[in-house]
Amino acid sequence: MPKASTGKPTIVDVAEKAGVSRATASRALSNYGRINAATQLHVRRVAEELGYRPNEVAKAMRRGKTKTIGLVIVADFTNAFFDRATKGVVDAARELGYQVLITNTNEDLAAERSAIITLIEKQVDGLIVVPAATAIPDHLTPDQLDNKPIVFIDRRIDGLQVTSITTEDFQGAEEAVRHVLSLGHKRLGFLIAASGVAGFTQERPPLLLSTVEDRINGFAKAASDGGIKPKMQTWLYCEDLPSASEAAVMRLLDQPKPPSVILTSNNDMALAVLKVAGNRQLTIGKDISLVTIDDSQWLEAMSPGITVVARPVEELSRIAVEKLVANIEEPGQPEEQIALPVELVARGSVANLILRPELWME
């Protein structure tokens, strides 16, 4: 009497029914070691017939590899980064035979820490992280990471020897400023998203994400290179919250001599500019100009389209996955800091003050 084949068929059931040993069945199905072609075919047929599905957990257990990578990301609604990066990572991973375990930190260090612990416990083979920290955190040590490879995306943590895939934010910011200067703008407003501040402030906060830091430096460099005096620049560092950013925009506009253009460090800030402009019946690209960072279909579809620094987020994600998988499958790859080029996409949101000087009141 055959054993009660209760539940899902395992490889034992297949082996039994095919009249071979577990080992042979395994070889036949997973295609390794020495196996007679006829036997293999037979086993596979039997497996098919039985509706056998391998148990990947058992495989992972035995092999010490889960074929899974962990994604630790900050999910943010407007920031197009989240969905584009997630999609990029998931698709690239699948192509390389990996699945993605996704976790979300709300830009919160404690959440990031616990997410990473969970992922490590789940035995992911590697991690892709958008690090929330700016200083070197203690949960990213090789020990805590179980010596699993890790790749940062979007942000570096300077001083930490970790592969990171970012974009040329400094150059992008520079280019944005050069663009507005070339159109005759002379009074510039900068609206910078900064975690750690409440509301908004003119003082530059000490700790900023590398991405933000780069953008600030790029903005500042190009402004200075363009001969824009500090008093012609207004810098506002702002909590990443609609209420705060809208208040900051109003402050910008309510100065005695308001800027003719606002450059924002991310799309949350751009959104605030759009809203306040809408409320005040100001026309973008005429009454007030706007440049932001990170493209989106919406920014393109608006009238006028918003001029942006477009970042190759999908490509960034792909590369991150490729680097990670390379390091998983052949450990000991050198760390790299890769920054992908960005592109200024000029649309109609920046007024041409040279052709139409009437738009600019000194």
Partner DNA sequence: AGGATTTGTGAGAACGTTCTCGCAAGTCTC
Partner DNA sequence: GAGACTTGCGAGAACGTTCTCACAAATCCT
Q: Tell whether residue 34 is a contact of DNA (CB under 7 A).
A: yes
Q: Tell whether residue 102 is a contact of a copy of itself (CB under 8 A).
A: yes
Token readout for 218 is: 């790029």
Q: Tell whether residue 271 is a contact of DNA (CB under 7 A).
A: no
Least distance to a copy of itself, CB of residue 84, Å? 7
Q: Which is nearer to a copy of itself, 199 or 304 (CB)?
A: 304
Q: Tell whether residue 117 is a contact of DNA (CB under 7 A).
A: no
Q: Residue 288 carries which DSSP code?
A: B
Q: Tell whether residue 60 is a contact of a copy of itself (CB under 8 A).
A: yes
Options 275, 326, 338, 345; binder of a copy of itself; rule CB under 8 A: 275
Q: Phi first, then psi: give them for residue 345, nearest 5 degrees.
A: -110, 105
Options 1, 2, 62, 256; binder of DNA; rule CB under 7 A: 62
Options 40, 42, 91, 107; binder of a copy of itself; rule CB under 8 A: 91
Q: From DNA, a copy of itself, none, which one binds at residue 12 (CB under 5 to 8 Å depending on kind)?
A: DNA
Question: What is the pattern of x (binds a copy of itself, CB under 8 A) and - over residues 303-322?
Answer: xxx-----------------
Helix or strand or coil: residue 358?
helix
Of 92, 96, 13, nearest to 54 by C-alpha is: 13
How far are the Cα atoms of 92, 232, 260, 279, 288 from residue 282, in angstroms, in the given order? 43, 21, 12, 8, 7
Q: Which is nearer to a copy of itself, 1 or 301 (CB)?
A: 301
CB 270 within 8 A of CB 290: yes
∠ at Cα 151 (148, 152), nearest 5°? Answer: 135
Element housing 260 (H / E): none
Q: From DNA, a copy of itself, none, which one binds at residue 37 (CB under 5 to 8 Å depending on kind)?
A: DNA
Q: Residue 138 carries which DSSP code?
A: G
Amino acid at site 99? Q
Helix or strand or coil: residue 242?
helix
Q: Can you give the binding site for a copy of itself, defined by CB under 8 A?
A: 8, 51, 53-58, 60-61, 66, 68, 75, 77-78, 82-84, 86-87, 90-91, 94, 99-104, 117-123, 143, 146, 271, 274-275, 277-278, 283-284, 296-305
